[in-house]
Homo-oligomer: A and B are copies of this chain.
Amino acid sequence: MKVVTPSHIEEIKSIVKTGKVLIDESDRFSYSFDGSFGTFLPDVVIQTKSVEELASLVKLANREKIPVYPRGQATSLSGGPLPVKGGMVLDLSVLDDVLEIHEEDLIAVVSPGVLTADIHKAAEKKGLMYPPDPSSSHVSTIGGNLAENSGGPRGLKYGVTKDYVIGLEVITPEGEIIHTGGRTVKNVTGYDLTKLIVGSEGTLGIITKAILRLLPKPPASETIMAVFDSLVDAGSAISKILSSGILPAKMELMDQASIVAVENYEPLGLPVDAEAIILIELDGHPLALKDEIKQAAELCYLVGARAVRIPKNEAEKAEIWKARKLVSPAIVRIKPTKISEDATVPRSKIPQMCARLQEIRDKYNVHLVVFGHAGDGNLHPNIICDKNDKEEMRRVEQAVAEIFTAAVELGGTLSGEHGIGTMKAPFMEMELGPVGLDMMKRIKKVWDPNNIMNPGKIFPEKGQKLELS
């Protein structure tokens, strides 16, 4: 990798006619970190709305072998935007001009810097819905969601970001602008480059526009909270409901540690002696919901729920979901550092995964809190620690490695929705095997021969290990 020279900066400035080129250290510092670990100072940061200028910058970078790091709001929990090899950061959060809703085609056309929550709002104004709902949607850009293939609670019923992307405008690693897919839901013309690029974590190109599929907004929703004395029973309730013909929009789990953390943070009257609660949201036609909510409650009792609460109005409903939303802020009060994992298992393995997580917690004596999207097997084991305590962080590293191993051994995956980034790269071969990993590397190599697009991500470097300290 080459360093950025003063003559590169001159050339960059001559390309960027409509935006800004940031070279002061104080400006560049804000681009040196993300929602995960480590700080890496880029050599230069560029803000421009012009796709042509961005393409020219990539051409320059490719010619000169300068690393290129596209970046949205940098809420990534896996290190996706970190400029680990220095070089050029492209701040795509400024590319926020396009947010069109085409009702007749049930699609949205968006530029990458638009906040995901703004797409939700724009669609809802027209009676439509953009289903993917990562918890960070009020602060994260759609570009970041596309790069990482973000999930969210509604993944259970509606799937993830990728399931709603039908077309892209992309700058290739050689600086060419291509269009993949289009405005039709059905499209089998050649290889699916759209779904290859979504979730490739910025390593195969820069997304400069996306066409998203929308759905009619369900007219109503209902919520249930069920309280369990046993985590296994909570798992059974989830299976039972899903095999009864009911498909909830969300099915969230909070373990005892999360319940206690939230209740200490803000007393909501949660049952701190329960081993687990599950929160269910059903959406659809109001008449169907009335019936389904009764059925779901009965099924919860049938497998041993000690209580089921059905809120009577919007205020009560909001209070129940507040409990789930407070988990993240509540647990960081315990210790300053939060390692948020997203190891995902087949949903039938949720009780076994919970048992493995408890073993890992005890073995390494770490503060482990478990919550997340239990309905689709996507748990969020969070380890609460202090990154300045080196001895503790070494135990945390071992615990995290063992969480990944447990997920893969149970037939699951390293990452359900946060991405591989830098943190999980060392574990890729464990899940994919050497040939599977090689087939991915071949694509990277032939698309990005000079390895300039987000280098240092996804693919492990020789001897690379997880390092949190």
Q: A216, B192: Cβ atoms under 8 Å?
A: no
Q: B242, A216: Cβ atoms under 8 Å?
A: yes
Q: B245, A216: Cβ atoms under 8 Å?
A: yes
Residues of B within 8 A of A200 (CB): 191
- Comparing A11-19, A21-29, A303-311, A416-424, the segment that makes contact with chain B is A416-424
Judge whether A291 is part of the interface by a CB distance below 8 angstroms: yes
Chain A interface bracket (under 10, 10 to 19, 20 to 34, 35 or more): 35 or more
Q: B436, A179: Cβ atoms under 8 Å?
A: yes
A420 to B440, CA, bound (A): 24
- Comparing A136-144, A157-165, A329-337, the segment that makes contact with chain B is A157-165
- Min CB distance A251 to B, Å, is 12
- Min CB distance A105 to B, Å, is 4
Q: B435, A176: Cβ atoms under 8 Å?
A: yes
User: Interface code A184-205, partner B: CB below 8 Å = 1, 0 otherwise?
Assistant: 1111111111011011100010
- Min CB distance A288 to B, Å, is 3
Judge whether A315 is part of the interface by a CB distance below 8 angstroms: no
Q: B245, A185: Cβ atoms under 8 Å?
A: no
Q: B199, A196: Cβ atoms under 8 Å?
A: no
Residues of B within 8 A of A195 (CB): 162, 192, 195-196
User: Interface code A94-126, partner B: CB below 8 Å = 1, 0 otherwise?
Assistant: 000000001111110000000000000000001
Most chain-B CB neighbours within 10 Å: which of A103, A127, A128, A436?
A436
Q: A347, B104: Cβ atoms under 8 Å?
A: yes
A124 to B446, CA, bound (A): 44
- Min CB distance A94 to B, Å, is 26
Partner of A285, one of B160, B287, B411: B287
Given the interface contacts A189-B428, A440-B193, does A178 sit within 8 Å of B348 by beta carbon? no
Closest chain B residue, CB of each to CB of A107: B346
Q: B348, A191: Cβ atoms under 8 Å?
A: no
Q: A184, B344: Cβ atoms under 8 Å?
A: yes
Closest chain B residue, CB of each to CB of A103: B243
Given the interface contacts A245-B216, A246-B216, does A344 sit within 8 Å of B291 by beta carbon? no
Judge whether A180 is part of the interface by a CB distance below 8 angstroms: yes
Q: B190, A458: Cβ atoms under 8 Å?
A: yes
- Comparing A56-64, A147-155, A221-229, the segment that makes contact with chain B is A147-155
Q: B190, A347: Cβ atoms under 8 Å?
A: no
Residues of B within 8 A of A182 (CB): 346, 411-413
- Min CB distance A248 to B, Å, is 10
Residues of B within 8 A of A159 (CB): 163, 185
Can you report 5 residue pairs joining A to B where beta carbons are below 8 Å apart? A104-B239, A184-B347, A189-B413, A442-B447, A446-B446
Q: Which residues of A contact B (CB under 8 A)?
A: 102-107, 126-128, 148-149, 151, 155, 159-160, 162-163, 172, 176-180, 182-193, 195-196, 198-200, 204, 215-219, 239, 242-247, 284-285, 287-288, 290-292, 344-348, 373, 376-378, 411-420, 424, 428, 431-433, 435-437, 439-440, 442-447, 458
Known: A106-B243, A183-B346, A189-B414. 6 other contacts (CB 8 A): A102-B346, A186-B373, A187-B344, A190-B420, A192-B196, A192-B199
